[in-house]
Chains A and B, each alone.
Chain A
Amino acid sequence: MKIKKLDSFMQGVFLISALISVMAIILIGIFVFGGGIPFIAEYGLSNFLLGEKWTPSNTPAAFGILPMIIGSVTVTLGAIVIGVPVGVLTAVFMAEFCPTKLYKVLKPAVNLMAAIPSIVYGFFALQLIVPFMRRLFGGTGMNMLTVILLLGIMILPTIIGMSESAIRAVPKSYYSGSLALGASHERSIMKVSLPAAKSGVLSSVILGIGRAIGETMAVVLVAGNQPRIPDSLTQGVRTLTTNIVLEMSYATGQHREALIATAVVLFGFILVINGIFLLIKRKEAIR
């Protein structure tokens, strides 16, 4: 009898533990959305999202985050343009070309790449990519290209890890079938294995987008952080994430609410990205 009681007691404990995640997400929703949405309602959604001026210290203050939305989207797209081909092809290398002995070294290397703190990446970019850009294009060297290059490197491990397992999950018979039809090793991989792994590769890209758009501390060091709509890649940029981190320490009143509202917009982006990711995963599971 006693054991039975303990059994159901512990089941309760397990259930409560499981509900903590749900509670956390609800609390995050309440506090972030609750802090930001009243401001958006008061300031006007279109004024906020499409406003081109961010001048919190002027009177009257302007809180338009269009420059930051454009900044975030542009650097994320740029990072994808660099990171996806390199990452996916590296995944092909890991899954199909890499000798076993070398793989034992390179697999942990990819994991290490994912684990290096973003501040280290940012510092590296600040010390090396920024001076390089300064010499190349003049100015401070803190521009969108710097950020794109940095983020392109930072999303590599995310893309490689998931794409590799997707490629490995393709049945070997596809590949051997292609070989039997006379295609070469390389052609079989590119035309048969990789297309078959399409949805896994796509998921990895979406995770990469999430990582790039959410990155903060590495970007803030090298982006220049000017809140204006950049008209070329060699200009400085401010993203949604860095807007929050730069001004949160001293913001009060409406300014503070505007920063929380920036987080709401960022959260919205992440929810959409994550929704697409889950949709792909579910579609895959059904197949």
Chain B
Amino acid sequence: MSRNYIKGLVYFSALITFGSLFFIISFILIKGLPHLTPALFSFHYTTTNVSLLPALLTTFMVVGLTLIIATPIGVFTGFYLIEYAEKNNKGVELIRIATDTLAAIPSIVYGLFGMLFFVTFLRFQYSLLAGVLTAVIMVLPLIIRATEESLLSVKDSLRQASFSLGAGKLRTIFKIVLPVAMPGILSGVILASGRVVGETAALMYTMGTSTNLPDSLFSSGRTLALHMYVLSSEGQHVNESYATGVVLILTVLIINALSTYLSSRLTKETTK
């Protein structure tokens, strides 16, 4: 293989990758931005004006509730795995296998499980609660992994210094280790929120697709991604689908920028 041939292939591949990303985003933006009218942000959804505001607010609710439940569980799991458990412990191995498997399960299987367990078995019906709990299980591995990685990046000398000054284990974790690991953990949590924002299959059969803003934990609702799915599969409101796509992409863009910023802060601090 000649040099130029290899070089050409590598550059060509990069061009395909970033070209298609650029193309997809600009396609949705160009088609969607003109249809992003104020009417789409009306508080009430009607069949003639498929407002996306209720779905947007529902998305915030689902993301908020999911993170409130999943973050402590995930971060505490990270504490246990890194700070407490002895390495090569059988229990740790089991927890690792569990989180690895959770991370690999496709979202439609989560959706089916949520429907069988939360909706039917626990009789939550199609509800915000059933959707949120399904999403919690889904994002747990993301938060656990981010916590583990950030805790591992904290130098042991910091812990030992804290111990030698007489601080206990718990105090060392919360006052010394956690502040240093915080940006990394936060960046994982934010990525998890991105996953919830984009989720459709796991929520469709747990939250239902009601167009109203849920007024309690037990009422049905739809997130923005679900809203977009329903609109595009019906095929009646193509322009509104584009506009919803724009809002989704912008949300994900903001979430990603935040996460990137935070993780770059982590690397700066640990290499200082």
**Residues of A bordering B, CB below 8 Å:** 3-4, 6-7, 10-11, 13-15, 17-22, 24-25, 27-28, 31-32, 35, 85-90, 92-94, 97-98, 106, 108-113, 115-124, 126-128, 153, 156, 160, 184-187, 189-190, 210, 213-217, 220-221, 241, 244-245, 248-249, 259-260, 263, 266-267, 270-271, 273-274, 277-278
Taking the nearest CB of chain B, how far is it from the CB of A114, in angstroms? 9
Contact at B252–A24, with CB atoms within 8 Å? no
CA of A187 to CA of B228 in the docked complex: distance in angstroms? 47
**Apart from the given pairs A11-B80, A187-B6, 4 other A-B contacts in the complex at a CB distance below 8 Å:** A18-B85, A93-B10, A118-B198, A241-B108
* Chain A CB within 8 A of B13 CB: yes
Contact at A245–B140, with CB atoms within 8 Å? no
* Chain A CB within 8 A of B57 CB: no
Nearest chain-B residue to A281 (Cβ)?
B100
CA of A17 to CA of B80 in the docked complex: distance in angstroms? 8
Q: How big is chain B's contact interface, by range?
A: 35 or more
12 sample A-B contacts, Cβ–Cβ < 8 Å, listed by A number: A6-B170, A28-B137, A97-B11, A119-B232, A119-B248, A123-B28, A124-B24, A213-B106, A245-B108, A263-B108, A273-B104, A278-B97
CA of A184 to CA of B3 in the docked complex: distance in angstroms? 7
* Chain A CB within 8 A of B39 CB: no
Contact at B10–A31, with CB atoms within 8 Å? no
Interface positions of B from 242 to 263, Cβ below 8 Å from A? 242, 245, 248-249, 252-253, 255-257, 259-260
One of A18, A210, A259 near B80 (C-beta < 8 A): A18
One of A19, A20, A97 near B10 (C-beta < 8 A): A97
* Chain A CB within 8 A of B40 CB: no
Report which residue of A21, A111, A116 has the largest number of chain B beta carbons within 10 angstroms of its beta carbon: A21
Q: Mark B112-134, 1 if CB is under 8 A from A, else 0.
A: 11011100010000000000000
One of B94, B98, B113, B257 near A108 (C-beta < 8 A): B257
Given A27-B117, A112-B252, A118-B200: A244 and B80 interface contact (C-beta under 8 Å): no
One of A108, A214, A274 near B101 (C-beta < 8 A): A274
Nearest chain-A residue to B9 (Cβ)?
A89
* Chain A CB within 8 A of B210 CB: no
Nearest chain-A residue to B191 (Cβ)?
A115
CA of A27 to CA of B137 in the docked complex: distance in angstroms? 11
Nearest chain-A residue to B200 (Cβ)?
A217
Taking the nearest CB of chain A, how far is it from the CB of B137, in angstroms? 5
* Chain A CB within 8 A of B229 CB: yes
Question: Which of B14-22, B47-55, B150-158 binds A?
Answer: B14-22
CA of A260 to CA of B225 in the docked complex: distance in angstroms? 24
* Chain A CB within 8 A of B201 CB: yes
Given A118-B198, A119-B198: A124 and B121 interface contact (C-beta under 8 Å): no
